C-alpha cells in the first residue's frame, strides 16, 4: 500500500466520522514529529499547526513524569481531545454538548481498529516525510516546462530516505493550504543552487496563488 492510498483511507475515515456525528467539528491525525498525516478538509492550516505545536510543547514538559499520551480540554466554545493511537496521535474538536461516550469510542475503538486493519494491509511501516520549506522562484520562457526544480543535494537526501528510490514528483503547498503536484528535477542554473529555492513554472504558481519570494512547503514523492 502506498502512502497516498493509506492517507486517503484515513481522510475518508475522518470524513465519515464527521458525517455520522455532527458534534465533531474538526479532526486530524499527526505523528510525534509534527507531520500531519491526514486531516479533515475544513480545518485551517494555521489552527492545525498551533494545536500540534501546543501539544508538542506539553509532551516535552511531560517527559520527566513519563510522557503524555492523551489530552482533554473543555473550553467555552467546545472541547479538544488528543489521544495516542498506535504510533500516531488523533486530535478531535467537538461542540460543548458532544456525547462523551461516543467521542471516547471514536478515540479508543473506531480509529485504532481502522489503523490496525490498515497496518495488516501495509505490514512495512510507511515513512511519512515531513514537509520542508522553500522560497519560490519562477521559471519563465518557452522552455519552462511543467517540472519544478530543486537542489540536486536535496533530491539525493530525499532519495536516501526512500531507500534509493528516484524522486520524480513533489507536492507543493502554499501557506494558504493550496496544493499542487508536479514533476521535479535538479536546478539547471548553478547560480541558483544552494539557496533553498524551488523553481516553479508560472502555471503552478497561478494554481497555488503564489509569487516569487513566497514560502511554500514541499514534500517529495518517490517511485
Nearest to 38 by CA among 111, 122, 109: 111
**Predicted confidence (pLDDT) per residue in 12-65, tens digit:** 888 888 888 888 888 888 888 788 888 877 676 657 778 888 888 888 887 777
Q: What pTM value is reported for the model?
A: 0.61
Q: What is the pLDDT of residue 124?
A: 55
Q: Give the CA-trace dihedral at 23, 25, 29, 35, to 10 degrees.
A: -170
Spatial contact of 31 and 87, defined as CB atoms under 8 Å apart:
yes
Nearest to 177 by CA among 91, 6, 49: 49
On the question of pLDDT at 122 being above 70, the answer is no
Mean pLDDT, rounded, for 74-101: 87
Q: What is the pLDDT of residue 100?
A: 83
| H or E element at residue 83 | strand 79-85
Burial class (CB in 10 A: 0-12, 13-18, 19+), 35: middle
Q: What is the pLDDT of residue 44?
A: 66
How many of the other CB atoms lie within 10 Å of CB of 181?
A: 14
Return d(Cα 51, Cα 20) in angstroms, integer: 24
Q: What is the pLDDT of residue 134?
A: 93
Task: Count the alpha carbons within 13 Å of 207 in the hemisphere toward its beta carbon.
Answer: 13
Largest CA distance in the chain: 61
Structural domains in the chain plus CATH codes: 3-121 (3.30.450.30), 132-222 (2.40.40.20)
How many of the other CB atoms lie within 10 Å of CB of 159?
A: 15
Burial class (CB in 10 A: 0-12, 13-18, 19+), 52: buried
**Predicted confidence (pLDDT) per residue in 178-217, tens digit:** 889 999 999 988 888 889 999 999 889 999 999 999 999 8
pLDDT band at 123 (very low <50, low <70, confident <90, very high): low
* Kind of pairing between the strands at 148-150 and 179-186: parallel
Q: What is the pLDDT of residue 210?
A: 93
Amino acid at each position: 500500500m502506498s502512502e497516498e492510498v493509506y492517507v486517503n483511507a484515513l481522510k475518508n475515515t475522518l470524513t465519515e466520522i464527521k458525517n455520522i456525528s455532527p458534534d465533531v467539528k474538526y479532526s486530524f491525525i499527526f505523528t510525534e514529529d509534527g507531520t500531519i498525516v491526514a486531516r479533515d478538509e475544513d480545518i485551517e492550516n494555521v489552527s492545525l499547526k498551533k494545536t500540534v505545536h501546543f501539544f508538542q510543547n506539553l509532551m516535552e514538559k511531560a517527559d520527566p513524569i513519563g510522557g503524555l499520551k492523551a489530552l482533554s480540554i473543555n473550553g467555552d466554545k467546545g472541547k479538544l481531545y488528543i489521544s495516542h493511537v498506535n504510533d500516531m496521535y488523533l486530535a478531535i474538536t467537538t461542540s460543548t454538548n458532544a456525547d462523551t461516550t461516543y467521542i471516547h469510542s471514536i478515540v479508543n475503538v473506531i480509529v485504532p481498529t481502522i489503523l490496525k486493519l490498515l497496518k495488516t494491509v501495509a505490514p512495512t511501516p510507511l515513512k511519512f516525510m515531513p514537509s520542508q520549506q522553500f522560497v519560490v522562484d519562477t521559471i519563465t520562457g518557452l522552455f519552462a516546462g511543467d517540472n519544478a526544480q530543486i537542489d540536486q543535494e536535496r533530491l539525493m537526501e530525499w532519495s536516501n530516505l526512500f531507500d534509493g528510490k528516484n524522486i520524480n514528483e513533489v507536492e507543493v503547498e502554499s501557506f494558504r493550504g493550496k496544493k499542487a503536484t508536479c514533476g521535479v528535477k535538479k536546478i539547471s542554473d548553478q547560480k541558483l543552487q544552494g539557496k533553498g529555492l524551488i523553481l516553479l513554472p508560472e502555471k503552478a504558481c497561478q494554481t497555488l496563488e503564489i509569487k516569487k519570494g513566497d514560502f511554500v512547503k514541499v514534500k517529495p514523492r518517490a517511485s
